[in-house]
Structure 1
Amino acid sequence: MIPKIQELINQAQDRYLASDELGLMESYVSSLPDRLKLYKLIRDREIDILQSVADQVPSELPNVTVEDLELGIKNLVLVLRYSSMAMLLNDENFLKERLLSWLEGIMSMRDLRRLNDTLYKLLNQTLRQQFSPSQLALLQPLITAAQVTLIY
């Protein structure tokens, strides 16, 4: 949304914003307190969320190596952080431009599809336990975009 807001501001340098343009800006501004609150919650709970995921992996995938698990969790940390920032900005392109194309290239070097599938399943379960449905609605589409990119 920030690029859209910047575009609106640039377009309105010699005129007032139209009603629909103001509506876009009002929508973003009114959702900002909820986005900020969720961003702070994710930041403060990141270690607990990811530790919960990491602790459950061995029972789901008993043959996973420590090296692969560490790599998977490191990538999941990046996905959670970039998804959180994209959620705060309300800008899915931020996630795509900054993270997903890079991660897609990294992940294609090793076959970690089964591990990634398990990590995202466990992450989604943990997020559902930690956050309200309205909070999940802000974050989930971004996590899903990362999941789709890395698994399929």
Structure 2
Amino acid sequence: MLSQIQYLSQAVDGRYATDEELQFISDYLQSFNLRLSAYARLQVAEATIVQQVQAKLRSLDPSLLQNGSEDVTGKWRRDTIRVLRYSAIAMLLNDADWLRDRLLYWMQTVMKAFGAQRSCDATYQIMQEVVQQHLTPPEARLFCPILELNRALLGGSPDS
């Protein structure tokens, strides 16, 4: 939404916006209550979601929470909570571009530096399954594409 408003303000430069250019505002307003509901559910369920993802990740492959011989569960948890919170805001604002530009590109560099793409790929794939237990289907349809963006950018192949 913020990115779209910024783009609109540049695009209309000295003229009135067309109905088509303003449609995203109407669409956003129609989905706002659903976005707000999903945001509130994510806020309440955050600790449970992260715990469930961690448990599934550990059962899938315990090495996903290791960096060599070091247990990185604490770092994984902090990073996962940060990304989950930013993702919830991006869903609330309907602004994946904001999330990508504000957090994900930076985190992508960090995850590549630590070779954590495999862990990120699994984390956000599992999280898509887990959040569906905590959100209604319409809410999950709003939020899961954000998690897929996280998976795609943070879990990219180590060679990319």
Q: TM-score, normalised by structure 1?
A: 0.84
Q: CA deviation at 1:107?
A: 0.8
Does residue 26 (structure 1) correspond to residue 26 (structure 2)? The answer is: yes
Partner of residue 40, structure 2: 40
Hey, what's the Cα distance between the residues in 1 that align with 2:5 and 2:117? 37
Describe how 1:5-20 pairs up with structure 2 within 5 A: 5-6=5-6, 8=8, 11=12, 15=16, 17-20=17-20
Please identify which structure carries the higher helix content.
1
Structure 1 residue runs of 5 or longer lacking an equivalent are none
Partner of residue 143, structure 1: 147
> Alpha carbon RMSD of aligned pairs, Å?
2.3
Residues matched between the structures, number? 151
Q: TM-score, normalised by structure 2?
A: 0.81
Percent of aligned pairs with the same amino acid: 28
Hey, what's the Cα distance between the residues in 2 that align with 1:151 and 1:120? 8
Hey, what's the Cα distance between the residues in 2 that align with 1:59 and 1:87? 29
Partner of residue 109, structure 2: 105
Hey, what's the Cα distance between the residues in 1 that align with 2:78 and 2:96? 21
Question: Partner letter of residue 152 of structure 2?
Answer: V
SS of residue paired to 2:71 = helix
Moved more, 31-40 or 71-80: 71-80
Partner of residue 91, structure 2: 87
Hey, what's the Cα distance between the residues in 2 that align with 1:118 and 1:9? 39
Question: Partner letter of residue 102 of structure 2?
Answer: R
Residues 75, 14 of structure 1: CA spacing in aligned structure 2 closer, same or farther, 3 A cutoff? same
Does residue 51 (structure 1) correspond to residue 51 (structure 2)? The answer is: yes
